[in-house]
């Protein structure tokens, strides 16, 4: 037996899962994604990664600005999918959709629910220095990421993992797990287990103001934030009139004043221990190693970034 599927997703994270479904015996009727955006001062239209991939494999794409109009509800009624698979779509599914008869709405979420419900579960897990995270497949209910869980699978978080690396690993895991979930539903062995609502935590959307480095934090927390925000929006600080984005850094067991250049290896003091910058990007320039940067930019040991006006 194969299911008729409707897929809802937007970012790169969703693409491997859509690809996995497309290669399965299930039929994807249509894809919903976020609307195209204008870039470069409105001169160029940018399609979402899911939109681009759907075009490559010739699956019809629909991209309403909102699901609220009655026309979208009627469209899905006419489409008659068995299951709607939602992966980082970027819109709340209205209750009228969830109430449709004979359609199951399931979500692939990038955390071990009920921990890290919400918009930025991967980034928040890295910032929190969690040792593990995972993929949860759940039935969608009205409350955000609160529905009963069908499957979970764990993945280790290495302290050097950045967002992009961990996201790719988790997406691959989700691509496998969704097929297992559909197999359970097909064999009528699906058991959706309610979440423990008391253990719920929330992963708030990342705000740009969070990306500026606070040297009064501990080194481990700064490194975690650098990893969580790589490649975007990136963690940055001001150095002699230029904005420097840190691409890669490690914690060093040494001490110095917060913001102080401790040695000539681009090691900067924090409230506890220090970080060594390994790779960076000066505003308007390409990414380079710290070693390359220091060849043309001398940093005086003892100089304090916090006093740089």
- Please give the chain's pLDDT, 309 residues, in tens: 799 999 999 999 999 999 999 999 999 999 999 999 877 666 688 999 999 999 999 999 999 999 988 999 999 999 999 999 999 999 999 999 999 999 999 999 999 999 999 999 999 999 999 999 999 999 999 999 999 999 999 999 998 899 999 999 999 999 999 999 999 999 999 999 999 999 999 999 999 899 999 999 999 999 999 999 999 999 999 998 899 999 999 999 998 999 999 999 999 999 999 999 999 999 889 999 999 999 988 889 999 998 875
| Radius of gyration from C-alpha coordinates of the chain | 22
Domain with CATH 3.10.25.10 in the chain: 209-307
* H or E stretch at 303: none
CA 26/CA 7 separation, integer angstroms = 12
Q: How far is CA 104 from CA 99, 118, 146, 243, 257, in A?
A: 9, 21, 15, 48, 56
Q: Answer yes or no: are the C-beta atoms of 241 and 269 closer than 8 Å.
A: no
- Please state the separation of Cα 235 from the chain's center in Å: 16
CA 175/CA 152 separation, integer angstroms = 13
Q: Which CATH homologous superfamily contains domain 209-307?
A: Formyl transferase, C-terminal domain (3.10.25.10)
Q: Which CATH architecture has domain 4-203?
A: 3-Layer(aba) Sandwich (3.40)
The structure's pTM equals: 0.94
CA 136/CA 146 separation, integer angstroms = 11
- Please state the separation of Cα 196 from the chain's center in Å: 24
Length of the chain: 309
Enumerate residues 6+ apart whose C-beta is below 8 A from 38.
Answer: 44, 45, 46
Strands (DSSP E) found in the chain: 4-9, 27-32, 37-39, 44-46, 61-62, 83-87, 104-109, 117-118, 132-139, 149-156, 202-203, 235-239, 242-252, 261-263, 267-269, 274-282, 287-289
What residues are paired with 235 via a beta bridge? 246
Write the DSSP assignment of 244-277 as a string of letters: EEEEEEEEES----TTBEEETTTEEE-SSSEEEE
> Of 26, 27, 98, which Cα lies nearest the Cα of 60?
27
* H or E stretch at 298: none
Domain with CATH 3.40.50.170 in the chain: 4-203
């Amino acid at each position: 037996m194969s299911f008729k599927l409707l897929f809802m997703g937007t970012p790169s994270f969703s693409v491997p899962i859509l690809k996995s479904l497309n290669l399965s015996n299930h039929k994807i009727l249509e894809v919903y994604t976020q609307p195209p955006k204008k870039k470069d001062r409105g001169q160029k239209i940018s399609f979402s990664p899911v939109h681009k991939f759907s075009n490559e494999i010739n699956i019809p794409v629909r991209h309403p600005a909102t699901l609220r109009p009655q026309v979208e509800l009627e469209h899905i009624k006419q489409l008659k999918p068995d299951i709607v698979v939602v992966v980082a779509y970027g819109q709340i599914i209205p209750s009228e959709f969830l109430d449709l008869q004979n359609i199951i709405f399931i979500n692939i979420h990038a955390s071990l629910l009920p921990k890290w419900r919400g918009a930025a579960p991967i980034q928040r897990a890295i910032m929190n220095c969690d040792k593990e995270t995972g993929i949860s497949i759940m039935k969608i209910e009205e409350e955000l990421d609160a529905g009963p869980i069908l499957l979970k699978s764990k993945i280790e978080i290495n302290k050097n993992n950045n967002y992009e690396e961990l996201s790719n690993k988790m997406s691959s895991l989700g691509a496998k797990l969704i097929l297992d979930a559909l197999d359970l539903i097909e064999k009528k062995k699906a058991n959706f287990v309610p979440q423990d609502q008391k253990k719920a935590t929330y992963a708030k959307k990342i705000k740009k103001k969070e990306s500026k480095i606070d040297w009064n934090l501990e080194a481990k927390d700064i490194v975690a934030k650098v990893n969580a925000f790589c490649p975007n929006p990136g963690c940055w600080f001001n150095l002699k009139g230029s904005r420097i984005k840190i691409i890669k850094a490690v914690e060093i067991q040494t001490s110095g004043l917060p913001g102080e250049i401790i040695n000539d290896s681009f090691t900067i003091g924090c409230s506890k221990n220090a970080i060594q910058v390994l790779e960076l990007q000066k505003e308007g320039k390409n990414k380079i190693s710290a070693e390359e940067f220091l060849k043309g930019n001398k940093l005086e040991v003892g100089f304090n970034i916090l006093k740089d006006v």
